[in-house]
Structure 1
Amino acid sequence: MTRFAWSGRNSHRARMHATQDLVEHLQRQLTEHPRARQWVIAHSHGGNVALHAADQLRALRGRRARVTTVALATPFLHARPRTIPGWPLFIIVLFGAFLLASAAGTVMTGPRSLADTVLVAGGGAFAALIALCAAGAVLHRRSLGRGWRSRLVAAIHAPTARPGETIVIRAVGDEASGFLVAGQFVGWLSAVATRLLTSLWLWVAVIGLPQLAILVATVAGRGGRLAYGLLLHGFAPAGLLVVAVAAAMAGAAVVFGIDGPFAGLVVSCSAEPAPPGTATLLQLEPRTAATRKGLAHSSLYADDQVIRYIVSAVRPASGDEPSRDAPSGPDAET
């Protein structure tokens, strides 16, 4: 038995780097023990690392790579390509620049009303979003280039589980899973708002109607003050709406790592209780307050039922499948 340690940092880049290191580690183990079956027992996001490493190892060694992954309390990441059309992106950049300029001007002159305070807060949120995206771009700078979005999606999306090669063990009331679910809910709300904001007719109304009103007022000789009022009270709320949606998307992506907002520009990500494909699932029964020890997310380490199940699965006499002594019925489901 060997121990593989990685940084444990919550970022897509850290998990990608750990996957490569684990592949090299397993390669050495297979070279030293060519006929042995490798078992990788991993916790939390380590399960994503282990699943990717096992998948890459099979691609390198084919049938000679006999690896089974046991994932404890793992939030399996599912990723899909995200495409932002050109004109909504132009609108976001346009209103984002206007919002930043307006917020900077308000800070220099000093906020005088609640609207000014909201404007400054919106500008700060948009600036923070840009900073997070820039930080993610720096982390992934070496992988940027042609086809980088497809590579990023493949590196994040959990590989398809194969029967008998992936065991998922979960506890009821997992705190980390609850946090990710909350992030997914915010992401779902932002996705709904994004579909609304990508409506061409909405932005024709937002931009065209004020322009038409300014034109009419100019012809009537009252264009100056009306133009300023429409710019401040017409365009600014639209910019704040864009920033609110972008901030919600960034906030939902942050739970997947510091580079989540950057990846969120091209990848729609969610955390699920199981990987795609067929995996063996052991769902523990709820613990009472008297028997519960520590956090549900980390208590699996010391859970007797979990330990017995893993030992029975790894035991050579059991073959490739868990033995008959392993839990069955509602607790263990294939």
Structure 2
Amino acid sequence: MALPSLRQLQYLVALHEHQHFGRAAEACNVTQSTLSAGLKELEAVLRMRLVERNRRNVVFTPVGLTVVRRADDLLLRARDLSLVRDGNAATPSGTLRLSLIPTIAPFLLPGILQSVRAAYSDLQLQIHEEMSHEGCAGLSSGTRDCMLLALPFDCGDFEYAPIFDDPIVVAMHRDDPLANLSAVQPDDLPTDRLLLLREGHCLRDHALRACRRSTGAAPGASLPTLIQMVDAAMGVTLLPEMAVDSGLLEGTNVVVRPLSSEDAWRTIAFAWRRNSPRSEAYGAFAAMIEEACRRKKWSGLAASALDDRLAHA
């Protein structure tokens, strides 16, 4: 009985991801004719039509979509097989593809990269800054090995190691009436001047949860943009404390005050796939990051509290 090859399945998954024969071939480092021939061979082996071919677009048949999902899972398991040799290693080695979200990466990396180089001199660390849903998808598909994200977020059924709690604070112009308060109540926040990040940023959801709102203006694509708007007295915003600690407000007229809300926090956590052959190594890597953060005086989070945080995802 003829069986499809992993290479053929890789071609199919790449075509589904890129929706273009040329880009899929480039991603697989083959010519377009090679990829097309491989897909035809796969259809012949399976005796079913997977892709409708025309000049304008790529359309997968219903059975083709089913095969893509199963091929994705098989390829992930095949990648894990290649890690079995190093599965008992207590420390990371080789290449580690790390995903970080934009509201963590620029503030956390300066404090941990030196520690990473000192602890794992042979490790080839690949940094991927991307939105939470993109990193979680990469973790599921195997294109990312691990991830630093902010909880609560519905990422998936992965292993999570808490790193520290990151309070959410209110940022306003120093002449704003809110600056006269020692702490800001959620009801004190101006509905018409509350500036938040755009949809897709998990910090937007964390901020809305913290101030007990369901909606808010979304003019910002980045935290520096929001800070510049607040500096121009256009409104107030909510920031993670780690961004403030990094010096992001230096040279501005922006000040911060605590937000009096039991939800005014997010949890920075390290995640990886359950039952990965490198689970022990990833756990050691997470512990190293946690220790580096402690040295920066970011407070830790008891591991027993993580289940409660995940329950709110």
Q: Which TM-score band applies after superposition, normalised by the shorter structure?
A: under 0.3
Higher relative contact order (CA 8 A, sep 6+): 1
Higher normalized strand content (fraction of residues): 2
TM-score (norm 1): 0.23
TM superposition score normalised by structure 2:
0.24
Which structure has the larger Rg over C-alpha atoms?
1
**Higher normalized helix content (fraction of residues):** 1
